[in-house]
Amino acid sequence: MRRIDTYISVILLSFLLEACGGKSKGSLADIYPDYTDVTIPCNIAPLNFRIEGASRILVRVKGGSDEYIFRSRGELMKFNQGKWHSMLDAEKGGTLTVSVISKGRKRGTAGVKELSWTVSRDSIDRYLSYRLIEPAYEVWSRMQIEERDMESFRTRLIGDNRNAGRSCMNCHTTNRNGTSFMHLRGANGGTIVNRKGTLMKLNTRTDQSGGGVYGDITPDGRFVVFTTADITFSIHSRIDKRMEVFDSRSDLMVLDLDNLTVSDSPAITGDAYQETFPCFSPDGKMIFFCRAEHLLQPDSTFDVHYDISAVRFNPETGKPDDKVITVIPARERLSFSHLKCSPDGRWLMTSVADYGTFPVWHDESENWLINLRTGQINTMEKANARGADTYHSWSSNSRWVVFASKRDDKVYGRPYIAHVDEDGQVSGAFLLPMRDPALYRRTMRSYNLPELYPEPEIWGTHETAAFYNKVTPVQVTYKP
Write phi, then psi, for 160 (nearest 5 degrees). -140, 120
Is there a contact between 391 and 403 (Cβ–Cβ < 8 Å)? Answer: yes
Q: How far apart are CA 227 and CA 213, in angstroms?
A: 5
For the chain, the C-alpha Rg in angstroms (whole number) is: 24
Q: What angle do CA 5, 117, 106 make, to 5 degrees?
A: 60
Length of the chain: 480
Q: How far apart are CA 208 and CA 226, in angstroms?
A: 14
Predicted model pTM: 0.92
Q: How far apart are CA 41 and CA 125, in angstroms?
A: 10
DSSP secondary-structure letter at 464?
H
Q: How far apart are CA 403 and CA 338, in angstroms?
A: 11
Map out the domains of the chain with their CATH numbers: 2-119 (2.60.40), 127-470 (2.120.10.30)
Residues of the chain predicted below pLDDT 50: 1-27
pLDDT at position 358: 87
Is there a contact between 322 and 345 (Cβ–Cβ < 8 Å)? Answer: no
Judged by phi (left if over 0) then psi (alpha if -120 to 50, else beta), residue 189 lies in beta
User: Which residues have C-beta within 8 Å of that of residue 350, sequence separation ≥ 6?
Assistant: 308, 336, 337, 338, 339, 340, 367, 368, 370
End-to-end Cα, the chain, rounded Å: 72
Is there a contact between 285 and 312 (Cβ–Cβ < 8 Å)? Answer: yes
Q: How far apart are CA 228 and CA 50, in angstroms?
A: 44
